[in-house]
A = this chain, B = another copy of it.
């Protein structure tokens, strides 16, 4: 290993210590990809972290599903059990790292840990996006920290910047690429011209997909992460069920190539907006101008684009998954808690889980659409289509007529108008004799208008 850069610590740290602390004892629930990497990081960096925190951090107990399983990380030196409740029940442990995932038994274990006065670090997006409020409320009542930087964007610092760095600003929109698998697929489709099925097969081959690809492809994973982001950004609870959701399964190679012709890239976006005291959150494929910073986020990278009243536009980019990046974020949370234990401090937990957000009805979301219509090649078609948009008070930003005869198509991009009026227009267009089929519709984001 490379020699370490000597990390200095303020020689006077002890002066500020409220409590004398011999060491921070951590219990780890789950020792899979993320849990194992967390254990490795906390061990490899033990001396440095000990210097930075003012006390050593030790993982003293690990709950695993199968004790006999071969692992990259050596569990020697820690108590190993198949009973996570034993770890949670150990009165000598101050911090629980939950790396099991899923709603149960994770929820019950975290609540038990909180009830016994333990601080908790979790990367569990499913749990936070459905029952986060209950957990944060319990943590507040017990006076313990519950941190979850790794739940969104893997190793990307995004929860803490939203919670702390932007505490003096007002965030009005968060727009993210928060699912690496779908971004890999869309990048392949964009750069090689592959179909969705071909790109998915490649993602599969590289091990980027889950056993059930639906969580990624249908946007469930992105919706859970967006619920957490919106909650922290806007200070009011948004749950997975509040997120309007469309996956990438209907995105075709033709859509991607048409987007290119217009100077756009197709991305699966997670968008949350606060306006008029309401929050709107949606996950869907969208066309983004190539000049937008999110458009150049490639492969399995994630990025979160934030717009604040004063800070303007920010973007945070990094690896949104994987053991080491995610564990880096988990370890950062453990260090924050350890510092709090040493200093007698507490982390700010007014993370938005105190009040349910008012959710803006989907139909009211201001959006722009790209629309491809397969039409009859006869006089009056454009007039009929344009009239339909006009009747719904939607302005057309650009229109292009392509092909002729059986191949005649109209490609339109609208100006911003409510989702509901767009939907009503699409319904009407389908009933027009001149329109054979709505070949494609996709939202357009990231233009100065939207």
Contacts and interface: CB of A to CB of B under 8 A. Distances in A.
Interface string A135-153: 0000011010000010000
B156 A314 contact: yes
A8 interface: yes
A397 to B, nearest CB: 23
A168 B328 contact: yes
Contacts of A149: 165
Interface stretch (A102-110, A199-207, A275-283): A275-283
A349 interface: yes
Nearest to A167: B335
A296 B291 CA distance: 8
A328 B166 contact: yes
Contact of A41 (B141, B168, B313): B168
Interface residues of A, number: 89
Interface stretch (A86-94, A250-258, A317-325, A419-427): A317-325
A164 interface: yes
B312 A354 contact: no
Interface string A293-333: 10011100001000011111111111100101101111111
B157 A236 contact: no
Contacts of A354: 8-11
B6 A164 contact: no
A143 B12 CA distance: 10
Contacts of A291: 298
B5 A277 contact: yes
A8 B157 contact: no
B52 A167 contact: yes
B168 A42 contact: yes
A434 B156 CA distance: 51
A297 to B, nearest CB: 8
- A-B pairs with the 3 shortest C-beta distances? A168-B331, A157-B165, A345-B345
